[in-house]
Structure 1
Amino acid sequence: MKPTLKKASVLFTSLLVGGRLLAQTPDSISTKDYVKPFSGGGAFRTWSIGINGGVLTPFTIFGTNGRQDFRTPQAEIGYGAYIKKQILPSFAIQADYLGGKVKGKDAQPNVNGYNSFETKMHWSAALSGNLTLANINWRHQKGVIQPYVTFGGGIMSYKPVLTTTAGTSTEYKTNGNIEEFFIPLGAGLKFNLGSGVNLDLGYQVNFVSSDNFDGYNYGSGNDRFSYAHIGLEFALGKSSKPQLATHNPVSSMRTEYMWENMNTKNQLQAQIDEQKAANAKLQSDLATTNANLAKFAADSDADGVPDFYDKCPNTPAGTKVDGSGCPLEKRVLVVTEEDKRVVRDAIANLEFDTGKATIRAKSYSSLDRVANLLVEKNFSLKLAGHTDNVGSDALNLKLSKDRAESIKSYLVSKGANPSRIEATGYGESQPIATNATAAGRQANRRVEFTLY
């Protein structure tokens, strides 16, 4: 065997049995070759063409080569091309062309003096099925190498020429070429060089349906020859689409799953962020409210009057102050005659419902003037309720107290300081007139106002 044949045989044998042929690209989340799961064939490139060249020889990996018609195979250059249609991710149909020469020598037994043969293939056409074995991978997104096998049938046109030991050449068929059926059976590896280019390394054994291929009939077996080749495959169609044969649908399903999870995660994160923003706003509002409340509660000079209402801030510790926060000793309260007249007018117009502490509406206007006086001048007021002797002592004491408290409540509702109003009930214990007459009893039913 020639050195060329030996090298080719070693190369392809090692490629077929190597344990690292299915090395994959590193796993990633790239969506470059993503295709939505269950998409139609229009999402892929399914047509491709290929060209190749290699070694043609009668030597094959099947059977005993020493029992062939010629015991010493020789290597010659072969060439081929094909067009392929990918039907499924793992199956395609391709039309093949193969041409070149096949040579061998040392016929057995050499009864006719033949030393060698040379068969020229003018053409061969075959239709084959191509089965891709590793386009799905459960560990990596995309494979670098796709192993495949091919099987089919076709017609070849060839002409064998026999040469004797004396150097005389004889055509096996003198009137034209031989055309016969043959079966090609092959295996190989495709390396993805780019999105639409594959390096094709293959080995093919062709089984001829007769013993005429080498022009010499010996034994009962049909002739066969092999073709070891290297070539390039070019995918046809838009470069943005992946090849169906190299596409890993499991990877697309994984990408789809990760996208859905990512969308769900983003939605949940958006809801969390929205809730965080709402919580932050509530915290800000609460801080603002607390700050406003602190303004009303702050009492820098500890005089019992909040700073917001304190008209005399920074009073010394222990100083007694009035409702506005000003020291009492610095305020001289003078009750004028006009002030006394306002109080007398209120007493004169004061009326209650009979036997009750309810103030009648005609008393409101004069009481309003008393309330304004208390607010403007910060006077203190003592209210003393009295009754006549009609009824029990306990009932009269309660009624007198209730009427004084009713007046205090009304004045406070108009803005008077409740801490500066004292309401007391004395019942019938302090009459100012006799209870023996109606006029005297009327005089005893009273509420006294003491302004100071």
Structure 2
Amino acid sequence: MRNARTKNIIFLLLWNILLITLVLLIQGKSFGQYYNPPTTWSSLLKNWSVNLNGGRTSFFGDVSVYDHEFEEKMRKDGSWGWGVEIGRKFTPVISLSVQFMMGQLAGSNSKSHFTSDIQEVSFNGSLDLLNMLIPGNDAGLHPYVKAGFGQFNFNSRLIYNDPDTPDLTAESKSPELIGLIGGGAYYYISNSFDINMELLGRRMSNDRIDGTNNSKHNDYYSYFSIGITFKINNVPRDTRYYKRMGMKSPLIRRR
């Protein structure tokens, strides 16, 4: 009697072990195919983005008045610009990008006013502050800080209020160095789109973009922009994608 009971227990244990093994094999096959590693090309395209932006430029230098009054500076002592930025998010915190920006600077004082056409190319890095402080959050609004460096060209014209004083022109003979620092915030709309607002200051290595050279400090300008970001290859894949990658099991349901 005891031997028969022992045999039944051993049989049940072996049967359960066999069932568990079969379940694990089926799950391993199905989910292993579902999580098939992406191709190199797909990985390279992941997390890239293109941002289109436009906004207000503000100049700070000899030919400017409202340097300490933000509202008046934006309304009376500035001009417009636009830009295109291509970037990639390497981690939830760190992103790198290349930006092309062009537009116009403008300024005035009691004796003269000037305008300047500018073209700028810069390489920038940004830190997502929310993801850095609270990893794994699901917030929609993310503040960030940003810094970089680049080169720019300008073509300026200084016009005096006195009609008897001839106008002055100044332009860059070659691309000049510029440093960028600032920050902003982006708002998550979907897996494909974000919108952002950003303010970056640009420090130049000269004091003649406004056509004058009367100060001990170099000129600088800011760019306050609003943009929309298209995130490339960032839409979650459905079952058909993984089937093309080699998945054969019909048991995996679509997201």
Same fold (TM over 0.5): yes
SS of corresponding position for 1:88: coil
CA contact (8 A) 1:201 1:230 kept: yes
How far apart in 2 are the matches of 1:134 and 1:237?
A: 23
Structure 1 residues 141 and 70: alpha-carbon distance in aligned structure 2, compared to 1, 3 A threshold: closer
The aligned residue for residue 100 of structure 2 is: 97
SS of corresponding position for 1:134: helix
CA contact (8 A) 1:159 1:177 kept: no
Please state how far the C-alpha of 1:150 moved relative to its aligned partner: 1.1
The answer on 1:169 being equivalent to 2:170 is no
How far apart in 2 are the matches of 1:77 and 1:232?
A: 17
CA contact (8 A) 1:69 1:217 kept: no
Please state how far the C-alpha of 1:240 moved relative to its aligned partner: 0.8
CA contact (8 A) 1:58 1:104 kept: yes
**Which AA in structure 2 matches 1:163?**
I
SS of corresponding position for 2:218: coil
The aligned residue for residue 52 of structure 2 is: 51
Deviates more, 1:93-102 or 1:129-138: 129-138
The aligned residue for residue 109 of structure 2 is: 106
The aligned residue for residue 142 of structure 1 is: 138
SS of corresponding position for 2:102: strand
1:175-214 → structure 2 map (5 Å cutoff): 179-214=175-210
Structure 1 residues 157 and 236: alpha-carbon distance in aligned structure 2, compared to 1, 3 A threshold: same
The aligned residue for residue 232 of structure 1 is: 228
109, 114, 117: which one aligns with 1:120: 117
The answer on 1:87 being equivalent to 2:84 is no
Q: How many residues align?
A: 188
**Which AA in structure 2 matches 1:77?**
W
Structure 1 residues 142 and 95: alpha-carbon distance in aligned structure 2, compared to 1, 3 A threshold: same
Structure 1 residues 138 and 99: alpha-carbon distance in aligned structure 2, compared to 1, 3 A threshold: closer
CA contact (8 A) 1:137 1:143 kept: no
Structure 1 residues 137 and 209: alpha-carbon distance in aligned structure 2, compared to 1, 3 A threshold: closer
Provide TM-score, normalisation by structure 2: 0.66
CA contact (8 A) 2:207 2:219 kept: yes
61, 64, 79: which one aligns with 1:70: 64
Task: Give the number of the structure whose residues are more often helix, by fraction.
Answer: 1
How far apart in 2 are the matches of 1:53 and 1:125?
A: 15
Please state how far the C-alpha of 1:71 moved relative to its aligned partner: 2.2
Structure 1 residues 100 and 138: alpha-carbon distance in aligned structure 2, compared to 1, 3 A threshold: closer
Query: For 1:269-311, what per-residue CA distance to the aligned partner results, in whole angstroms no more than 9, with x for missing partners?
Result: xxxxxxxxxxxxxxxxxxxxxxxxxxxxxxxxxxxxxxxxxxx
Structure 1 residues 43 and 160: alpha-carbon distance in aligned structure 2, compared to 1, 3 A threshold: closer
Provide TM-score, normalisation by structure 1: 0.38
Structure 1 residues 148 and 221: alpha-carbon distance in aligned structure 2, compared to 1, 3 A threshold: same
How far apart in 1 are the matches of 2:225 and 2:117?
A: 18
Task: Give the number of the structure whose residues are more often strand, by fraction.
Answer: 2
Higher-Rg structure is 1
Percent of aligned positions that are identical: 20
Q: Which runs of 4+ in 1 moved over 6 A?
A: none
CA contact (8 A) 1:183 1:208 kept: yes
CA contact (8 A) 1:203 1:228 kept: yes
**Which AA in structure 1 matches 2:57?**
L
CA contact (8 A) 1:203 1:229 kept: yes
Unaligned runs of 5+ in 1: 1-35, 60-66, 108-113, 242-452
Please state how far the C-alpha of 1:52 moved relative to its aligned partner: 0.3
**Which AA in structure 2 matches 1:100?**
G
How far apart in 2 are the matches of 1:53 and 1:44?
A: 26
CA contact (8 A) 1:69 1:218 kept: no
